[in-house]
Amino acid sequence: MNWREMAACRLEDPELFFPVSDDGLSLLQVERAKQVCHRCPVLRECRRWALRYGETDGVWGGLTPGQRRALVQAHRI
């Protein structure tokens, strides 16, 4: 079974995971998306996929694009 079939977000509005900015109401949106991720049974698989394929937009695996970039940079050193 593909990990995506077990994703907690598959029943959510996809827009929730793609906030339009990094401030204001978008911060609340990011927190709501992360709440979904943190109860997701495939968080680790999703996060690994987003990091491996360099996903640049949206919340994946409970991480924002900036958090993923920071992780990648930290592991390059």
Nearer to ligand SF4, 42 or 76 (CB): 42
Q: Does the CA dihedral 34-64-69-47 come out positive or negative?
A: positive
User: Which residues are near ligand SF4 by CB under 6 A?
Assistant: 7-9, 17, 36-37, 40, 42-43, 46, 60-62
Task: Between 49 and 77, name the residue whose CB sits nearer to ligand SF4.
Answer: 49
Q: What sections of 11-64 are H helices per DSSP?
A: 25-38, 43-52
d(Cα 25, Cα 1) in Å, to the nearest integer? Answer: 36
Binding residue ranges for [4Fe-4S] cluster: 9, 37, 40, 46
| Annotated binding-site ranges | 9, 37, 40, 46
